[in-house]
Chain A
């Protein structure tokens, strides 16, 4: 009769295999853990590398040099490194985009979450996904060949490559973000809220405006912040469609050059190691910090909203 009571299987007399397995499992655990830390490493890496490559310019020129308005490092008379006009341009184009995208995006999100019959939802949801996937360079191209001439004709301008053109394109780019996150927020408002409102005699519309949307507000705000972060950091569309004039903009019909365009235009041509080269990393660093803050706010608002949900 075979020995059924033996606790150690005959092929592993001293527990070697078991111990090896346990060690192996621990090593695998560590391996995956290191990979998990990678994201932190990359984020810190971006921060430090941009800082390290921007610092020589700040050290050499002084921080005040960057606090002026006009950026013109290649001037023959006097090189200037002011970030003012650039930051105003970025803000202007982004704000214009939000004015267009927020009402349309929120209305579309509310429609998808509360009104649309399911067959329309089945069509619109992939539409929004595809819209999110359209490359920015294609939109920039359409800004040049379609929207630019249209703006020029409508407003009687010599050409249509200006801030408003960029705003229209950025609105298209941030719409998918705003719609999908707002829709999530609106859909996850508990049914009971709606039922209570309807039971009190409110119409469906009143319920939507006075109960559902306010309950989803933090998610909606987060979606707007994320859309804004996208617009601030977008490069190709503004590079192609806003005209790239190096001056302080006064109206939305002025040609502007946001921070992203400046980096894209100049980094390819600057001599490595010059003040100009390091100055562009300062622009990149500030851009990084701006989007970081916007994303962080969105994150905090979202976290709060999920807390309320629970």
Chain B
């Protein structure tokens, strides 16, 4: 009786001795190639450094030649390390992808010598570094040479402004064209007074480090004077704490200058929130609940510009807006009765005050504008003639 099961395989025919030798050779070569591929990539070479120019001595530029294994795509990243002694201990600085062969180390200390090494990393491991570069020391420079053009422009501007201010002090009041948008502020306050409703002043949504906020707050003082004069309530919702305290001073100052210090309402300036849409919710709520008859938007605005201006439009209030944020200007132009464009925001305080010294600063700006137009035209001519020195001189870092 035979046991049931899988039949035993028939014995394979014996291979000729030559074929066996060839198979063994192929297998052996395969093993060698596999071993070679499985090894970490060869190290990169030629690591050189350069102090980053025109900086405060806090950065070093490092460049290296790629690993020979880079072309075979066996390198996935280069790893940069540094130490304060050639023998280590080594600290990881950063890693870059295989297609990059340079890295700026921006974390160095001043007056400290460093040593760098670079290694190649691949799927089969990390290669040992070929060499160590150093000592490397970043230097702090006294002047950023790429900013000469800015320095010249600022020096010219200061000279123009100071000259016009001295002219103004000598009694020559410069002419400034009429700006209907600024004239409309008094009209708006007057209309709110006639309707027995308040004025809403929005000084933008940025902090005091944005000069547009400064410009808006300076205008607020003039608006507060008007509201004090007409005995019209004013509401100023503010996003950040520092503009909030300055806005309080501005409104207080406006009432004081108008001789109505006793009418100042401490709740007229309100801190809302630095969060953009929380601020929008609060301001649109004020528009809809308290129904101010005049809305004045002066400062830096972003996506909230249309939300505020359209809600204000729906309430039927007279609206005057000013911003230097180019992308928000169309929204204000559509939704507001008057819009101050770009530089008019910065001119408003000088225009409103009528102070010859402040107006002199506007004329200085105008003169620099003429200089800028001349530079643009000359630049176009030079570039058309393949002469690039002016353009290169104006590039800053």
Are A and B a genuine interacting pair, yes or no? Answer: no
Chain A residues engaging chain B, CB cutoff 8 angstroms: none
